[in-house]
Chain A
Amino acid sequence: MTIQVIVRRLLFLITVVWSASTITFFIPRISAKNPVRERFAALSRSGGFAPADMEKIIAAYNTKFGLDKPVLEQYVDYIASIARFDLGVSFNLYPKTVIELITESLPWTFTLLLVTTILSFILGNLLGAVAAWPRAPQWLRAIATPFILLQGVPPAIMAILLLFFIAFRLKLAPLGSAYSTGVIPDWSSPAFIWDVVHHQLLPALALLLGSIGGWVLSMRGMGITIQGEDYVNFAEHKGLSGPVIFKDYYLRNALLPQVTGLALALGTVVTNGVIIENIFGLPGLGRVLGAAIGSNDFLVIYGVVLFITIAVATLMVFVEFLYPLLDPRVRNE
Chain B
Amino acid sequence: MTTTTLDRTAFLQPSPMTLMGRYLRRNKSLAVGLLILLLLVLFTANGLATVDAENAYPLSVKTKQVPSVEFPLGTDYYGRDLYVAMVVGLWQTALIGVLAGALGTLVGVVLGFISAYFGGWLDAVIKGICQILTPIPAFLIQVIIAGSLDKRDVTIYTMAFVVVLLAWMGPTLVIRSQVLTMKERQFVAVAKLSGMGDLGIIFREIFPNLLPFIAAAFVGQVFFAVFQSFYLAVLGLGPLREPLLGNTIWNANGASAFFNNWWWWPMAPAFALVLILGSLALINMGMDEIANPRIRRTE
CB of B274 within 8 A of CB of A309, answer: no
- The 23 listed contacts between A and B (C-beta, < 8 Å) are A16-B132, A20-B141, A27-B141, A28-B148, A152-B278, A152-B281, A168-B258, A175-B258, A266-B137, A267-B138, A270-B140, A271-B137, A271-B139, A274-B139, A275-B231, A275-B234, A279-B234, A293-B147, A293-B237, A301-B144, A305-B143, A308-B140, A312-B137
Q: A153-B274, A157-B274, A163-B258 are in contact. Are A293 and B234 (CB under 8 A)?
A: no
Instruction: Tell me how far the C-beta of A237 lies from the nearest C-beta in chain B, rounded to whole angstroms.
Output: 27
Give per-residue flags for B221-235: 1 if the beta carbon is below 8 A from chain A beta carbons, else 0. Answer: 000000100110011
CB of A278 within 8 A of CB of B280, answer: no
Give per-residue flags for B268-282: 1 if the beta carbon is below 8 A from chain A beta carbons, else 0. Answer: 001001100110111
Most B CB within 10 A of own CB, among A27, A160, A175:
A160
Contacts of A316 in B (CB 8 A): 135
CB of B150 within 8 A of CB of A301, answer: no
Report the nearest B residue to A316, measured CB to CB.
Answer: B135
CB of B234 within 8 A of CB of A278, answer: yes
Report the nearest B residue to A217, measured CB to CB.
Answer: B285
Task: State which residues 145-175 of A face B: CB under 8 Å.
Answer: 149, 151-154, 156-157, 160-161, 163-164, 167-168, 175
Contacts of A312 in B (CB 8 A): 135-137
Report the nearest B residue to A317, measured CB to CB.
Answer: B135
Contacts of B143 in A (CB 8 A): 289, 293, 301, 305
Contacts of A154 in B (CB 8 A): 227, 230-231, 273, 277
Contacts of A23 in B (CB 8 A): 136, 141, 144
CB of B267 within 8 A of CB of A309, answer: no
Q: A19-B132, A294-B236 are in contact. List 19 more A-B contacts (CB 8 A).
A: A15-B132, A23-B136, A24-B141, A27-B144, A28-B147, A31-B148, A31-B149, A33-B150, A154-B231, A161-B274, A176-B258, A267-B135, A267-B136, A270-B140, A279-B234, A289-B235, A290-B235, A290-B236, A312-B136
Any chain A CB within 8 A of the CB of B177? no
Contacts of A294 in B (CB 8 A): 236
CB of A153 within 8 A of CB of B277, answer: yes
Contacts of B133 in A (CB 8 A): 19
Contacts of B237 in A (CB 8 A): 293
CB of B135 within 8 A of CB of A164, answer: no
Alpha-carbon distance A31/B151, docked complex (angstroms): 12
Any chain A CB within 8 A of the CB of B263? yes
Q: A167-B258, A298-B147, A313-B135 are in contact. Are A305 and B140 (CB under 8 A)?
A: yes
Any chain B CB within 8 A of the CB of A3? no
Any chain B CB within 8 A of the CB of A32? yes
Alpha-carbon distance A264/B170, docked complex (angstroms): 13
Any chain A CB within 8 A of the CB of B145? yes
Secondary structure dominating the interface of A:
helix
Contacts of B253 in A (CB 8 A): 278-279
Alpha-carbon distance A260/B147, docked complex (angstroms): 32
Any chain A CB within 8 A of the CB of B134? yes
CB-contact partner of A16 in B136, B147, B280, under 8 A: B136
Give per-residue flags for A275-296: 1 if the beta carbon is below 8 A from chain B beta carbons, else 0. Answer: 1001100000000011001100
Contacts of A176 in B (CB 8 A): 258-259
Contacts of A175 in B (CB 8 A): 258-259
Report the nearest A residue to B146, measured CB to CB.
Answer: A293
Report the nearest A residue to B284, measured CB to CB.
Answer: A152
Instruction: Tell me how far the C-beta of A6 lies from the nearest C-beta in chain B, rounded to whole angstroms.
Output: 17
Most A CB within 10 A of own CB, among B136, B235, B277:
B136
Contacts of B149 in A (CB 8 A): 31, 33
Any chain B CB within 8 A of the CB of A302? yes
Q: A27-B148, A31-B149 are in contact. Are A160 and B267 (CB under 8 A)?
A: yes
Contacts of A164 in B (CB 8 A): 258, 263, 266-267, 270
CB of A157 within 8 A of CB of B147, answer: no
Contacts of A31 in B (CB 8 A): 148-150
Alpha-carbon distance A19/B253, docked complex (angstroms): 34
Contacts of B144 in A (CB 8 A): 23-24, 27-28, 301-302, 305
Contacts of B258 in A (CB 8 A): 163-164, 167-168, 175-176
CB of A168 within 8 A of CB of B263, answer: yes
Contacts of B139 in A (CB 8 A): 267, 271, 274
Any chain B CB within 8 A of the CB of A30? yes
Alpha-carbon distance A294/B137, docked complex (angstroms): 21
Alpha-carbon distance A268/B278, docked complex (angstroms): 18
Q: A160-B266, A279-B253 are in contact. Are A271 and B231 (CB under 8 A)?
A: yes
Task: State which residues 15-37 of B face A: CB under 8 Å.
Answer: none
Instruction: Tell me how far the C-beta of A34 lies from the nearest C-beta in chain B, rounded to whole angstroms.
Output: 11
CB of A271 within 8 A of CB of B140, answer: yes
CB-contact partner of A309 in B136, B145, B148, B270, under 8 A: B136
Any chain A CB within 8 A of the CB of B249? yes
Most A CB within 10 A of own CB, among B134, B144, B236, B258:
B144
Instruction: Tell me how far the C-beta of B151 lies from the nearest C-beta in chain A, rounded to whole angstroms.
Output: 9
Report the nearest B residue to A298, measured CB to CB.
Answer: B147
Give per-residue flags for B140-166: 1 if the beta carbon is below 8 A from chain A beta carbons, else 0. Answer: 110111011110000000000000000
CB of A305 within 8 A of CB of B141, answer: yes
Task: State which residues 3-17 of A face B: CB under 8 Å.
Answer: 12, 15-16
Alpha-carbon distance A313/B234, docked complex (angstroms): 25
Instruction: Tell me how far the C-beta of B36 lies from the nearest C-beta in chain A, rounded to whole angstroms.
Output: 11
Q: A28-B148, A293-B143 are in contact. Are A278 and B135 (CB under 8 A)?
A: no
Q: Which 5 A-B pairs have the closest CB atoms?
A: A152-B281, A267-B137, A31-B148, A313-B135, A271-B139
Q: A152-B278, A293-B235, A313-B135 are in contact. Are A160 and B140 (CB under 8 A)?
A: no
Contacts of A305 in B (CB 8 A): 140-141, 143-144
Report the nearest B residue to A305, measured CB to CB.
Answer: B140
